[in-house]
Chain A
Amino acid sequence: MDFSTPEHAGPPGPSAGSGGRRAAGRGVAGRLPWMLVLPAVAGLVFLVLPLAGLLIRAPWPTLLERLAEPHVLEALRLSLACATVATACCLLLGVPLAWLLARVEFPGRRLVRALVTVPLVLPPVVGGVALLLVLGRRGLVGQWLESSFGVTLPFTTAGVIVAEAFVAMPFLVISVEGALRGADQRFEEAAATLGASRWTVFRRVTLPMVMPGVVAGAVLCWARALGEFGATITFAGNFPGTTRTMPLAVYLALETEPEAAIVLSLVLLAVSVIILASLRDRWVSAA
């Protein structure tokens, strides 16, 4: 990580003792405006304090014991598996969709782009209801799925994956589309003059060049899927072992044994932090 401090960045001066003031006035000369600094600090506290509370109130002595409980491990395993499969589905469908939006001119492209981002702002519960209406047993597509293939999605593990993918895919599409728009298309032209078909160009030139954007998008997508609650509980229900993911377990535990809820929350927090920290330097910050 790169923590270059102002003291190190600046030339060594005689006023080394009052380094604080020099550091503060590095960009624009003058004192920092408290109108900005005060809300900034308040905002930071607001974001960090709840997480700190989680750490302070955690039942540290019994932590490992509680973590090893079968229903915790079960929920964790289910969460990780569903989020990963959902992310894979999003990659499979979302990257081509992003490519379409970024590279192909077609009528109504702006409308399609707006539609893609709807799940981003839609309350997840509404998303769950919508999924039920379409993919539920009596739903438009669900009916047909069941009669033709004997496939039922609601209240199954597959349903969890569908709900998570629905909510998380816009994160991937937006990130990949941004990367595609930022990528220099002349490399694709160069590949075409070398005889590469459009598919080869995508596979061997475009995709490797936007890979940081794809990874960043996949991480965001995975994190969003991991934390998905509203659409999951609406569409897939809350059955231990099949659809009860970590966020659902946290919510349930909060009513019965709050300490378990804290432990489960800590696990989710730890997973998020580990993922962000491990990917930050290599991918996320590059995008």
Chain B
Amino acid sequence: MSLDARLVVTRAAFTLDLDLHVAAGEVVALLGPNGAGKTTALRALAGLTGLSEGEIVLDGRPLHTLAAEQRPIGMVFQDYLLFPHLSALDNVAFGPRCQGVPKAEARRAAAALLERVGLADRAAARPRELSGGQAQRVALARALAVRPELLLLDEPLAALDAHTRLEIRSQLRRHLADFDGATVLVTHDPLDAMVLADRLIVIEGGTIVQQGTPAEVARRPRTDYVARLVGLNLYRGVADGALVKVGEWPLHTSENLEGPAFVAFPPAAVALYRSRPDGSPRNLWQARIGGIERHGDNVRVHLDGPVTAFADITPAAVADLDLTPGQRIWASVKATETHAYPA
């Protein structure tokens, strides 16, 4: 039940064009900023948006020639779209009923699925009586009830509050691991993608800009968007041994490379000084503070200068250094804290 698709959707001001291959049992996350075309891709797979070009092949059978209701898919929508006039049980039984399963049998299957997602006691509840986390699980059960070969999830956790999200995320991961078909998941949350997916595909402007396992993507971002998502400073330059020239700015790294290269380092690796520090085998530059904001327990300092960078320092350090926006300051990064890889 593997998926091979080339999706081309042309709109007035936007073109989506991507190749998508998902193995049976694999979970692929489409990750990207708003308007990148993630949801369009998912809707095209579901048959809710027509393809301008391309094909969708599931297990050797073409899917793009079928209407949405004929495709062997299950879809979980961002705000779940549980039918408000039906109980949780009847929502889950809806798909099997449409496939011609007798009512009693469909309801039995639905009850079993609700039990599997831990909601046996909420079967009679209407969607408006369910909490966000419960509605999410009913939506998943409803999508799985049609025994899909391809499972599509559109921002499945986006509508949940932080606490519920943590819990539902781990449950969803378990259910996805049990599912033997192909799964395509759309999200703009890197954590959801990292936890739930076997492979990430990053989309920007309708095309794939990077793909790989979560660990690969997190370690070696290839665009500013991905770098921001995984919380790294990222620069593209030309490597000559352990030196990468980013424009005119030389950046010392610990890896030896030749030709176009990326250099990444975490904001926490950046040290700030009011006056030029002693000792030289590291990257040192003079920057201007563009902004200061809270970031978790730390403070994130935006640095302008020869290059823009983020530095994470402790609140105590902010006080010690007496930092203010507009101020000029020295910044440094140890070569051993940077990571260089071919572009």
Contact = CB atoms under 8 A, between A and B. Distances in A.
Nearest to A200: B98
Contact of A193 (B68, B84, B85, B99): B68
B77 A195 contact: no
Interface stretch (A171-179, A204-212, A235-243, A259-267): A204-212
Given A186-B81, A208-B85, A191 B48 contact: no
B146 A192 contact: no
A118 B75 CA distance: 43
Interface residues of A, number: 19
B262 interface: no
A191 B70 CA distance: 12
B98 A195 contact: yes
B81 A194 contact: no
A187 B95 contact: no
Given A186-B81, A187-B83, A194 B95 contact: yes
A196 interface: yes
Interface string A113-126: 00000000000000
A79 B58 CA distance: 61
B73 interface: yes
A46 B102 CA distance: 59
Interface string A57-98: 000000000000000000000000000000000000000000
A189 interface: yes
B142 A189 contact: no
Contact of A209 (B47, B84, B94, B142): B84
Contacts of B73: 193
A200 B70 CA distance: 13
A196 B67 CA distance: 11
Contact of A194 (B67, B98, B152): B98
Contacts of A193: 46-48, 68-69, 71, 73-75, 143, 152
In this complex, the interface size class of chain B, counting residues with CB under 8 Å from chain A, is 20 to 34
A274 interface: no
A189 B68 contact: yes
Interface in B62-108: 67-71, 73-75, 77, 81, 83-85, 94-95, 98-99
Interface in A198-234: 198, 200, 204-205, 208-209, 211
A211 B85 CA distance: 10
A191 B85 contact: no
Contacts of B68: 189, 192-193
Contacts of A209: 83-85
A204 B94 contact: yes
A132 B48 CA distance: 47
A193 B98 CA distance: 10
Contact of A196 (B46, B69, B74, B142): B69
Contacts of A197: 69, 98
Contacts of B47: 192-193
Contacts of A191: 83, 94, 98
A89 B51 CA distance: 41
A195 B69 contact: yes
B48 A196 contact: no
A93 to B, nearest CB: 24
B185 to A, nearest CB: 15
A90 B146 CA distance: 37
Nearest to A195: B98
Given A209-B84, A209-B85, A195 B146 contact: yes
B94 A194 contact: yes
A187 B81 contact: yes
Given A189-B81, A191-B83, 10 more contacts: A191-B98, A192-B69, A193-B46, A193-B68, A194-B69, A195-B95, A195-B99, A196-B94, A196-B98, A197-B69
28 contacts: A186-B77, A187-B81, A189-B48, A189-B68, A189-B81, A190-B75, A190-B77, A190-B83, A191-B94, A192-B47, A192-B69, A193-B48, A193-B73, A193-B75, A194-B95, A194-B98, A194-B142, A195-B70, A195-B99, A195-B146, A196-B98, A197-B69, A198-B69, A204-B94, A208-B85, A209-B83, A209-B84, A209-B85
Interface of B: 46-48, 67-71, 73-75, 77, 81, 83-85, 94-95, 98-99, 142-143, 145-146, 152
